[in-house]
Amino acid sequence: MYDMEQYYQATSVADAIAALGADPAAMPIAGGTDVLIQTREGRHAGCHLVSLHGLSELSAIREEEDGTLVIGSGCTFSEITNSPLLRPHINMLCQAVDQVGSPQIRNMGTIGGNVCNGVTSADSAPSLMALNAVLEVQGPNGKRLIPIGEWYAGPGKTVRQHDEVLTAVRIARENYEGFGGHYIKYGKREAMEISTLGCAVQVKLSADKRTVEDLRIAFGVAAPTPVRCPKTEAMAVGRTVDEALVKELGQSVLTEINPRDSWRASKAFRLQIAKEICRRAFRQAVAFAGGEIHA
């Protein structure tokens, strides 16, 4: 059922890096909820796996002195959703990963695996894009920090090198403090469904809660990789928070995304969904930021 030739349990991040470097055919595996399914389907026949499962170096959630939130790549979706540190600050991400698969999948699947899989349907991706997350990878030449906007190299591809390990997701205080955020996932079913389209909106309002100071809008399954809508975001800054802006946002994002036709949904249907869930996510994000939208 699982055609794998070798399986190695790394004892540390350094050990995993060495094992990957020594074997050009090796693949890292964490929770295994993606890799094992792909292996069972025959996509990685005869694979060599290097397991990161259970490494304490990758399992911490912490806040640094400057307010940066650091999520170890080995943290499961359930751990993120239930984190008393993360929920008050980045509940949008906690909410997003709580929509991944089943409870069993959320108890095993990791944020690192979700990001490294590189697919545009990853439920964590739009929220991480809207939060300007920075990904910390470690390789034989040390650590490097990669803004998530530079992470995706194409469908199912990332800039992670073969002998590098994603160690953490970092979110700076300036990207969550004072913001309200909301993620909406559209799927054919309410549970255990791969996203047909996902939208994350993160908004900061003025002191009087009447105008937009900062806005981030990110989509999954609206392009070959997760994408932001920078023109729409810039258009909204300084605008009054009202229904006129809501309607304009929905129309504007359509000029910045390029969903595809697939058996799950047509391009035309995805465009219609995108317009509506962007508006709904914005309304809820404004409410979480302490504002109200007036007609």
List the domain boundaries for the chain.
4-51, 56-174, 178-288
Q: Which of 54-58, 166-170, 255-259, 262-266 has the lowest mean pLDDT?
A: 262-266
Distances (CA, A) of 295 to 24, 141, 188, 204, 243: 59, 56, 32, 20, 5
Q: What is the residue whose two structure tokens read 């290097």?
A: 50
pLDDT tops 80 at residue 217 = yes
- DSSP conformation letters of 180-209: EEEEEEE-SSSSS---SEEEEEEEEE-TTS
Question: In the prediction, which pLDDT does 235 show?
Answer: 98
Whole-prediction pTM value? 0.93
Measured on CA atoms in the order 230, 128, 112, 223, is the torsion positive or negative? negative
pLDDT tops 70 at residue 173 = yes
Measured on CA atoms in the order 232, 235, 238, 240, is the torsion positive or negative? negative
Sequence-distant (≥ 6) Cβ neighbours of residue 160 within 8 angstroms: 116, 137, 151, 166
CATH number for 56-174 (one of 3.40.50.300, 3.30.465.10, 3.40.47.10, 3.40.50.10540): it is: 3.30.465.10
Q: What is the CA radius of gyration of the chain?
A: 19
pLDDT digits (tens, 9 = 90+) for 12-69: 999 999 999 999 989 898 876 666 566 555 565 556 899 999 899 999 999 999 999 9
**How many angstroms separate the CA atoms of 165 and 158, rounded?**
12
Q: Which of 22-36, 108-122, 237-251 has the lowest mean pLDDT?
A: 22-36
Beta strands in the chain (DSSP E): 4-9, 26-29, 47-51, 61-63, 69-72, 134-139, 142-147, 152-154, 157-158, 165-171, 179-186, 197-205, 212-220, 227-228
Q: Both tokens of residue 258?
A: 């390029």
Fold of the 178-288 domain: Enolase-like; domain 1 (3.30.390)
Give the amino acid at 96: A
Question: In the prediction, which pLDDT does 48 show?
Answer: 85
Q: Mean of the pLDDT values across residues 206-211?
A: 97
pLDDT tops 60 at residue 147 = yes
Q: Which of 23-27, 95-99, 189-193 has the lowest mean pLDDT?
A: 189-193
Query: So what CATH class is 4-51?
Result: alpha beta
Q: Mean of the pLDDT values across residues 77-97?
A: 96
Q: Which of 43-47, 226-230, 291-295 has the lowest mean pLDDT?
A: 43-47
Q: Mean of the pLDDT values across residues 125-131?
A: 97
Question: In the prediction, which pLDDT does 34 show?
Answer: 67
Question: In the prediction, which pLDDT does 3 show?
Answer: 59
Question: In the prediction, which pLDDT does 294 show?
Answer: 80
Exposure class string for 119-150: b at 16+ Cβ within 10 A, else e: bbbbbbbbbbbbbbbbbbbbbeeeeeebebbe
DSSP 225: S
pLDDT tops 70 at residue 84 = yes
Q: Mean of the pLDDT values across residues 210-224?
A: 97
Least Cα distance to 213 among 222, 204, 202 occurs for: 204
